[in-house]
Amino acid sequence: MEFLELLNYYVIPGIVLGSIYALGAVGITLIFAILRYAHLAHGDLATLGAFIALAAVTSFGISPLAALPVAILATAAVAVGIDKVFYEHLRERPKIVTVMASLGIALMIRAVIQVVWGVDTQTYSRGIVRPEDYFGLRIRDREIYTIVAMILLVGFLQLFLTQSKWGKAMRAMSDNPSLALLSGIDNKKVVILTWVIAGGLCAASGFFLGLNTELKPMMGWHMLLPMFAGAILGGVGRVEGAVLGGLIVGIAEELSVLVIPSEYKAAMAFAILLFMLIVRPTGLLKGKVL
Amino acid sequence: MSALLNMEKVTGGYGDADILFDVSLHVDPDEIVVIVGPNGAGKSTAMKSVFGMLKIRGGNLLFDGDDITKWTPNRIVQRGICYVPQVDNIFREMSIHENLEMGGFLKKGDLSAAYDRIYELFPDLKERRKTAAGSLSGGQRQMVAMGRALMLDPKLLLLDEPTAGLSPKYMEQIFQICRDVRDTGVAILLVEQHAKQALAFADRGYVLAAGKNRHEGTGADLLADREVAEMFLGG
């Protein structure tokens, strides 16, 4: 096969898919680092974000990209609300209780989506988008938006975490919770902040999946495993690791079609997850040991 | 009474069982006071009681004119007592400077005076301020831990076995740092496993055994006491 063909049909779609996974994996890794549990409702929260953007598109008649900030803000608010109503009461219990609760939340979110928006496949806009040609590379505008948005959002997050007082407080809480409390850092505010960020990124993840494919009530649930694989591959607690991990999982899924039947594409994430947990549980960038 | 901290006949423990029984001690301003004793004597517990981490069922804690017996750790920090735990006392993945910044989290306004004071006290840290604290040597980590605790300008610093696991060379270094800190006007109450070395360096000491006061006096007096010597040499 020609090199350009490899790039156009496998690598570029892989980077786009990987960017979508990365946005979710960053939230998963933050929740893991600060709240110390696996958040299984992350995929369905992404679906919710995608459908909130659809609601904004259909009811206000705005363009999908203009609907993205609406979806980010609304989903962040929903994430904080879910934490207040459900997870907060389980804080002192064993973490597995919250993990199971988050599975229940996942089902609840999906049920709400099916009741409100129905079970049919929907799209932000109709019609076929032809890719533009850049020196032989064929890229659609929406693919560029996805990659650029991921880089911008994660870039802002990194700036926030390394430069601002509350961003550093989040890192301190991840690094050494008891010492953070001893230093007078307000755990409740850090938790709210974590949900705002994770929820917002999650909405962006779902939105871009919807923009590049279609909106389905199960779309986020199917992303859950690749997002976790990305977070663990990069090293739990590492934002840059989650981006790297998400990208690798996305590209690996697309490339896997070259050697295995495409129905088994989703198994790639599972294989990567299993391999990392056995061989190097701290991930590529030396995160926390699970 | 001019003592900075006055612990009067404190009885209490973490849960329902008492660990301390009528323990009394005091710390004057500009003084290093050490608590020693055999394992399980309640040394660390006595210190944690000062920091509001205990259920106190009897006695009083007076600090700088306030009765802090029932205060929470958060309120005590802001009143001027800072605590350095024995283990996990730094943010490993954060830089030295960020560790200090987190120490000063509760402080309103400009922190630059506080940074200057700590970097003056620990010049080694200033050179490496961008370095991740987890990559430092044991002695330097202890400096970061103490620096973090000193960011809020405490009047009293509580140190839980600061020399645990350190080589004799570092132990001497830590003791020297304690003297330097004291000389800036901060009183220190510390718990030590290395009783002989600690008594030799501290201004005064308390020997606890089975959760009760056993001996007290200047470091030199305690070292000269036969019963104390037997406790640590013969025991």
Residue A108 burial class via C-beta count within 10 angstroms: exposed 0-12, middle 13-18, buried 19 and up: middle
Provide the pLDDT for residue A13. 95
Bridge partners, B84 (sequence order) = B159
Can you give the pLDDT at residue B235?
41
* List of E strands, B38-107: 55-63, 66-67, 81-84
Model's pTM, two decimal places?
0.89
Q: Do B94 and A168 touch (CB under 8 A)?
A: yes
Output A42 or B209, whichever has higher pLDDT. A42
From B204, B201, B234, select the one nearest B222 (Cα to Cα): B204
Q: Does the structure show a pLDDT above 80 at B55?
A: yes
Count residue pairs from A and B with Cβ separation < 8 A. 53
Residues sharing a CB contact under 8 Å with residue A19, sequence separation 6 or more, in sequence order: A146, A147, A149, A150, A208, A246, A247, A250
Which residue is associated with the tokens 């003084």?
B31
For an interface test with A, the pick among B101, B105, B150, B158 (most A C-beta atoms closer than 10 Å) comes out as B105
**Alpha-carbon gap: B214 to the closest alpha carbon of chain A (Å):** 31
DSSP state of B68: -
pLDDT tier at B75, thresholds 50, 70, 90 = confident
Residue A44 · residue A220 · CB < 8 Å: yes
**Kind plus residue range of the DSSP H or E element containing A133:** strand A132-134
Residues 6+ apart with CB under 8 A from A276: A229, A232, A233, A283
Interface membership of B73 toward A (CB under 8 Å): yes
In the predicted model, is pLDDT for residue B13 greater than 70?
yes
Whether the predicted pLDDT of B234 surpasses 60: no
How far lies B226's CA from each of A175, B38, B205, in Å?
Answer: 46, 16, 15
Residue A46 burial (CB count, 10 A)? 33
Q: Do A182 and B85 lie within an 8 Å CB cutoff?
A: yes
User: Which has the minimum average pLDDT: B24-38, B74-88, B177-191, B218-232?
Assistant: B218-232
The pLDDT score that the predictor gives to residue A209 is 97
Partner A contacted by B101 (CB < 8 A): yes
From B94, B101, B148, residue closest to A175, measured CB to CB: B94
Number of C-alpha atoms within 13 angstroms, CB side, residue B12? 25
CA–CA min distance A236, chain B (Å): 13
Q: Mark yes or no for CB contact B98/A168 under 8 Å.
A: yes
| Cβ-defined contact of B94 to A184 (cutoff 8 Å) | no
Residue B233 has pLDDT above 60, yes or no: no
CB contact under 8 A, B102 and A168: yes
Q: What is the dihedral of CA A144, A236, A283, A245, to 10 degrees?
A: -10
> Which residues from B are below 8 Å from A172, CB to CB?
91, 94, 98, 102
Of B78, B92, B106, the CB nearest to A175: B92
Place of tokens 């430069």: A163
Residue B217 pLDDT exceeds 90: no
* Residue A79 and residue A199 in contact, taking contact as beta carbons nearer than 8 Å: yes
Which residues in B lie closer than 8 A to residue A182 (C-beta atoms)?
A: 73, 77, 83, 85
| pLDDT at residue A218 in the model | 95
Residues of chain A with Cβ-Cβ distance to B98 below 8 Å are 168, 171-172
Minimal C-alpha gap between B107 and chain A (Å): 10
Q: Which stretches of chain A score pLDDT less than 70?
A: 1, 289-290
